[in-house]
Amino acid sequence: MEIIPAIDIRGGKVVRLYQGDYAQETVFAADPVRVALRWQQEGAHRIHIVDLDGARSGQLENLEVIKDILKAVDAPLQVGGGIRSLDTAEKLLDAGVARVVFGTIAIQEPDLVARACDELGGEAVIVSVDARNGMVAVQGWTQGTTMRAEALVRAMARNGVRRFVCTDVSADGTLQGPNVAALEALMKTGGVHIIASGGVGSLDDLQRLSHAGVEGVILGRALYTGAVSLPEAIARFQ
């Protein structure tokens, strides 16, 4: 199970939100590059970057910061937030990003994600499935939809997507434990890989996710508060 540290960027700083609420933000560092270097030095084989400004505005807002991180670290990056076109995805891949994460656009323009899989390659494409009470949330989690998370995974799998980052918005940032049952329901779609995100607050939580069979886990607040040690988590589960 891959352990993937997260760097959420807003206004050029490293922040964490509570349950996806932009009004409940904690700033953990002023320099995302230094944080990326720290996670790499502690053993990260991959880093998850979210452009929170872009997630809400619909276009990349922190591209220069992402480029600075690319220059500083060797660990591959997967980047989400504000990727609503093939041009934007290609711009990130050309800059050196390994994987791009489509979120809102998977609901609004599912055919675009299918084209991305065809033109960019399935390994370069991830779809983010962010759900609140089982229903998909979009626009940086600020808007709800009438689509269930399971339905989105099935639809995107038919379009060629094989990897999903799945977040229970209600659990995100709480350190109260992941929604394992919801993740297991998503994994019933055959041939897909699930990366869990949201709610992890201990090594025991990681053990539960490992038993559930997820491909990877994205760690955010748990790392920044010291609730989980990245080297220890990597040594035990990766």
List the catalytic residue out of 53, 130, 168, 205: 130
List the catalytic residue out of 8, 51, 168, 205: 8
* Cβ neighbours, 10 Å, residue 135: 16
How many angstroms separate the CA atoms of 153 and 198, rounded?
A: 18
130 catalytically annotated: yes
Phi and psi at residue 217, to the nearest 5° = -135, 130
8 catalytically annotated: yes
Which residues carry out catalysis? Answer: 8, 130
